[in-house]
Structure 1
Amino acid sequence: MNLTPETCYKALLARDPRYDGRFFTCVKSTGIYCRPVCPAPKPKLAHCTFVPTAAAAQKAGYRPCLRCRPESAPDSPAWAGTSTTVTRALRLIEEGALDEGSIEALADRLGLGSRQLRRLFTRHVGAAPMAVAQTRRLLLAKQLLHQTELPVTDVALASGFGSVRRFNETFRRLYGRSPGSLRGRGGADTGKAAGPDISLLLPYRPPYDWQAMLDFLARRAIRGLEVVDGQGYRRAICLGADIGEVAVTHAPAESALRASIRFPRFDVLPGIIARLRRLFDLQADPEAIRYALSRDERLAPLVQARPGLRVPGGWDAFEIAVRAILGQQVTVAAATRLAERLVDRLGSRVPEGTCSPGLDRLFPHPEDFTQADVISVGMPGARAAALVQLASAYREEPRLFDRRHDLDETITRLRGLPGIGEWTAHYIAMRALQESDAFLASDVALQRVMAIEGRRPSARELLAMADAWRPWRAYAVMHLWHADAASTGTAFQKENVDAALP
């Protein structure tokens, strides 16, 4: 954490929202840890210890504040600045890797030993991997208790606890009270059965360019699978054999997005939330991105015009990879039409009454891709073969789209897949894997915006220019795409210049 105790204390006294989630204040005299924006009276500096993560605070024995609710703070950018291995591990933990799996299994997935993983977490996060996982479970449980009427049994399941008994024991040890006591009116559990939807606030660090996010998703929305309107974004989802729906709207007063989740199983809720955070890029730190990109005089006015621009992610990495191949050498509109035909031809129908009107299709599973069916969608045979081979590779290796140790290794791995060249690999890394430094150097729109006196830079020259934008080159891509759309009147015409498929 590049913040001195003095700086943290000044931010605490000012209740500066720019520092929300950047650090947490542990108050020695009360044993409680808080966000910088906490409305409680401020302690003396001598009574304060500042840590970068909620997990570090809880490891040190501090309890979460019931007034500022640390679970509602944006994810700490301190985690985004850790080693690549720790960043990958945190993402897997967020997806539930330690809810049922072991530290050893997580370490093996990351390609290192469990002892080394623990050392990295202690150094970069201030807490062990299991402590991070437990903190996430507890803070999600607390959020569910405050924001929903789920019975405590369902809250325990939805937040990743294996049993209600363990949930109650952990909660009492940390908070000194029962889970149900955190609810209003004396704290009794409502006892109500769960409704069809769970509604939660997913915080972000402002500013957030919600309209730009909606516009991007709207141009790529697949009819039957997704709906984007003036209110927000909806899509049908399928996890395992179960089908449901997510709907996301903007709650600017709370600096959050409101997610309504309708799904028959509660135990997958952490994974659904993790996907939504990736899809809407809720972990971004606009201030850090603005500072880095504004040092370039060409980018500075673009960043000033859209300080809250995010990199839209994807619900599923395989889906993004398929759509990226469909979009090679064609416009966004043409690629979306192909995707709609693919979903209509290969995707399953949503049972009637499962989702809201307008959502009646699911994106095809990898096993649904056959050469004959894909060709019938109406595309060149080579491209259809690439999609079939991609689906086959994903079936054989479910972790095909895991992030690697660094961006170069990730790109090399992706380029080894059929039909995926440099542009497509970086596009997948940017949208599906949250690689903030992915960069589409051969993109014609980027080259057009960065032209000097009418001469467009080559991919090599553009890469050299973009070196100063690291590690936020993916955000530079979004700013340049917006600038090109504004100057040409296009709507993000994708100009993928990967070599034609063999």
Structure 2
Amino acid sequence: MELNPEACYRAVLARDERHDGRFFTCVKTTRIYCRPVCPARPPKRENCQFVPSAAAAQEAGFRPCLRCRPEKAPELWTTGGTKAVARALRWIDDGVLDTENVAALAERLQISERQLRRLFQQELGASPIAVAQTRRILLALQLLQQTDLSMIDVALASGFQSVRRFNEAFQAMYDRPPRELRRLHPESTAPSTQLSLLLPYRKPYDWLSMLEFFGQRAIAGVEHVANGVYARTIELDGASGTLQVTDLPEESALRATISFPRLKSLPQIIARVRRMFDLSADIGAISQVLAQDPTLAPLVAARPGLRIPGAWDGFEIAVRAILGQQITVRAARTMASRLVSQYGARFEADSLPELTHRFPTSDALRQIDIEKLGMPKGRATAILHLAEQAANNPRLFETIGERTDAIDQLCEFPGIGPWTAQYIAMRVLRESDAFLAADVGLQRAMAKNGVRPTAKQLLAHAETWRPWRSYAVMHLWTGESATTQSPSGKEVPHAIAS
């Protein structure tokens, strides 16, 4: 990643938050690295070295600043560069390098280990191992300062394989044991299965639109939206728990309250939440591109922080996309709620009585009688086939997302056409350039003098929106609203039912 040192230094002098997360300042005299918004007195220019990531700073021998707290910087690593690095970062988030080596990670990507290391140095200025280690340390620091977990639990929850390695890493990085870095919270001796953490984002963030999107589609028993809080049941590797998310705009972060029996799963849960709420988007760069279109410009100005709602689980969203084909948002939610009440496992959460079920697993859905689904046979068949594929391959959507022809592969599934495939790509595969050209809502929003463009015409027009066409879709959908009223006042089918 090319950085302009003079421009970086001007941003440091201005403490310009627009550059927070884009680079870090390494101070040669103190051997500390900082965010551009650090409140400390700016160092002299000749003492500054600028790097594109916290991992690059730590690999170069600098330690994190305890005033500006690099772990609180908005993360932008997944919004640009090559898809290979983006996928590798996703696996590192999920803890792959906690149990495997870089060679195994490269094999997953179907590239050589040497090429993977070269791409990481090129885009992040650090090796894959350094990236994984930095994330462990910064997460551990966050847990030390925001929770009362014991040192053993902090080490386990942040991905370290032993307390000894955890202590060694902190001693090497901060020149002090981790216990000295704990703030506010005295260490607890009682085991904790509920944690509350701040997940930073780049401002602006349109929390109300995100909450409205999830709220309109909330499945009874699985999800609940009220009083500015999104809550749902979660399941990971056979264990289940709950998640609550709310916005803290004064902190430029979402607060995630996680109740889960396995602390070791915390990095993976955090990674899923960040993807679900699109926290790594470089929203300024995206808005700059989209605002050049006269149709999108007023929509971007009205909602500059609009993000793409993601998915907790890919299989769940794919099933819901099939359920929602050609029906209203309300009808799709009703069908999904019925499916959950019949085939989802029961769940009890004392503090969240609205959450009563987990979404049905692929194993549960592939064994049901097709006639009992109470929906058109084509959709029922599509769900059963999808469940069969997902049961045989737990990494089904990760595998599809690794392919350059992911949309074509999705379209090979019975009952999944181009619209559904693009929708899954946008919400599950996190494809920033997915585009639903045949969507009625988009065509209606782009109509001129009452004449709607064809899918071909809409595709041609959208070329200038690349590589952010998915964000354009959200602006057009949100601008038109999630439901459309017919002249009689009755709700009519809308393209974003799922």
TM-score normalised over the length of structure 1: 0.94
More deviation, 439-448/371-380 = 371-380
SS in 1 for 2:98: helix
How big is the shift at 1:405?
7.3
Assess, with a 3 A threshold, how the Cα gap between structure 1 residues 407 and 460 changes in structure 2: closer, same or farther: farther
Residue 73 of structure 1 is matched in structure 2 by 73
Residue 381 of structure 1 is matched in structure 2 by 377
Residue 392 of structure 2, aligned match among 384, 393, 396:
396
Assess, with a 3 A threshold, how the Cα gap between structure 1 residues 493 and 431 changes in structure 2: closer, same or farther: farther
Q: How does 1:231-246 map to 2 (within 5 A)?
A: 231-246=228-243
Assess, with a 3 A threshold, how the Cα gap between structure 1 residues 371 and 487 changes in structure 2: closer, same or farther: closer
Residue 310 of structure 2 is matched in structure 1 by 313
Does residue 478 in structure 1 map to residue 474 in structure 2? Answer: yes
CA–CA distance in 2 between the matches of 1:72 and 1:424? 36
How big is the shift at 1:372?
4.2
SS in 2 for 1:258: strand
Q: How does 1:12-23 map to 2 (within 5 A)?
A: 12-23=12-23
Does residue 454 in structure 1 map to residue 450 in structure 2? Answer: yes
Residue 31 of structure 2 is matched in structure 1 by 31
How big is the shift at 1:404?
5.7
| Unmatched 5+ stretches in structure 2 | none
CA–CA distance in 2 between the matches of 1:189 and 1:171? 19
Superposed CA deviations along residues 31-75 of structure 1, whole A, max 9, x for unmatched, are: 010001111110011111111111111111110111111001110
Residue 265 of structure 2, aligned match among 259, 263, 268:
268
* Amino acid paired to 2:206: D
SS in 2 for 1:74: coil
CA–CA distance in 2 between the matches of 1:259 and 1:487? 29
* Amino acid paired to 1:284: A
CA–CA distance in 2 between the matches of 1:119 and 1:231? 44
Residue 117 of structure 1 is matched in structure 2 by 116
CA contact (8 A) 2:423 2:434 kept: yes
* Amino acid paired to 2:9: Y
Does residue 277 in structure 1 map to residue 274 in structure 2? Answer: yes
Residue 50 of structure 2 is matched in structure 1 by 50
Superposed CA deviations along residues 221-263 of structure 1, whole A, max 9, x for unmatched, are: 0001111012310111122232211101111100000011111
Does residue 421 in structure 1 map to residue 417 in structure 2? Answer: yes
Superposed CA deviations along residues 192-213 of structure 1, whole A, max 9, x for unmatched, are: 3244420100000011111100
CA–CA distance in 2 between the matches of 1:463 and 1:473? 10
Q: How does 1:359-378 map to 2 (within 5 A)?
A: 359-370=355-366, 372-378=368-374
* Amino acid paired to 1:368: A
CA contact (8 A) 2:155 2:162 kept: yes
Does residue 226 in structure 1 map to residue 210 in structure 2? Answer: no
Residue 412 of structure 1 is matched in structure 2 by 408
How big is the shift at 1:217?
0.2
Residue 166 of structure 2 is matched in structure 1 by 167
CA contact (8 A) 2:432 2:469 kept: yes
TM-score normalised over the length of structure 2: 0.95
Residue 102 of structure 2 is matched in structure 1 by 103
Assess, with a 3 A threshold, how the Cα gap between structure 1 residues 125 and 477 changes in structure 2: closer, same or farther: same
SS in 2 for 1:463: helix
CA–CA distance in 1 between the matches of 2:370 and 2:140? 43
CA contact (8 A) 1:327 1:494 kept: no
**Moved segments of 4+, more than 6 Å:** none
Superposed CA deviations along residues 424-465 of structure 1, whole A, max 9, x for unmatched, are: 111011111211111111100100111122211111111111
Assess, with a 3 A threshold, how the Cα gap between structure 1 residues 2 and 119 changes in structure 2: closer, same or farther: closer
How big is the shift at 1:370?
3.6
CA contact (8 A) 1:224 1:361 kept: yes
Assess, with a 3 A threshold, how the Cα gap between structure 1 residues 408 and 328 changes in structure 2: closer, same or farther: farther
Residue 198 of structure 2 is matched in structure 1 by 201
Does residue 348 in structure 1 map to residue 345 in structure 2? Answer: yes
CA contact (8 A) 1:345 1:377 kept: no
How big is the shift at 1:398?
2.2
CA–CA distance in 2 between the matches of 1:375 and 1:132? 50
Q: How does 1:135-214 map to 2 (within 5 A)?
A: 135-184=134-183, 190-214=187-211
* Amino acid paired to 1:101: E
CA–CA distance in 2 between the matches of 1:156 and 1:231? 32
| Unmatched 5+ stretches in structure 1 | 498-502
SS in 2 for 1:439: coil
* Amino acid paired to 2:81: T
Assess, with a 3 A threshold, how the Cα gap between structure 1 residues 201 and 492 changes in structure 2: closer, same or farther: farther
CA–CA distance in 1 between the matches of 2:35 and 2:136? 18
Assess, with a 3 A threshold, how the Cα gap between structure 1 residues 370 and 488 changes in structure 2: closer, same or farther: closer
Assess, with a 3 A threshold, how the Cα gap between structure 1 residues 244 and 142 changes in structure 2: closer, same or farther: same
Q: How does 1:431-450 map to 2 (within 5 A)?
A: 431-450=427-446
Does residue 325 in structure 1 map to residue 316 in structure 2? Answer: no
Residue 500 of structure 1 is matched in structure 2 by none
* Amino acid paired to 1:26: C
Assess, with a 3 A threshold, how the Cα gap between structure 1 residues 354 and 412 changes in structure 2: closer, same or farther: farther
CA–CA distance in 1 between the matches of 2:130 and 2:205? 30
Residue 83 of structure 1 is matched in structure 2 by 82
CA–CA distance in 2 between the matches of 1:238 and 1:404? 21
Assess, with a 3 A threshold, how the Cα gap between structure 1 residues 493 and 46 changes in structure 2: closer, same or farther: farther
SS in 1 for 2:263: coil
SS in 2 for 1:190: coil
Q: What is the Cα-based RMSD across aligned positions, in Å? A: 2.0
* Amino acid paired to 1:111: Q
Residue 336 of structure 1, aligned match among 324, 333, 336:
333
CA–CA distance in 2 between the matches of 1:405 and 1:192? 42
* Amino acid paired to 1:8: C
Does residue 292 in structure 1 map to residue 289 in structure 2? Answer: yes
Identity, % of aligned positions:
57
Assess, with a 3 A threshold, how the Cα gap between structure 1 residues 378 and 259 changes in structure 2: closer, same or farther: same
* Amino acid paired to 1:319: E
CA–CA distance in 2 between the matches of 1:171 and 1:334? 53
Aligned residues, how many?
493
SS in 2 for 1:99: helix
CA contact (8 A) 1:407 1:435 kept: no
SS in 1 for 2:395: coil
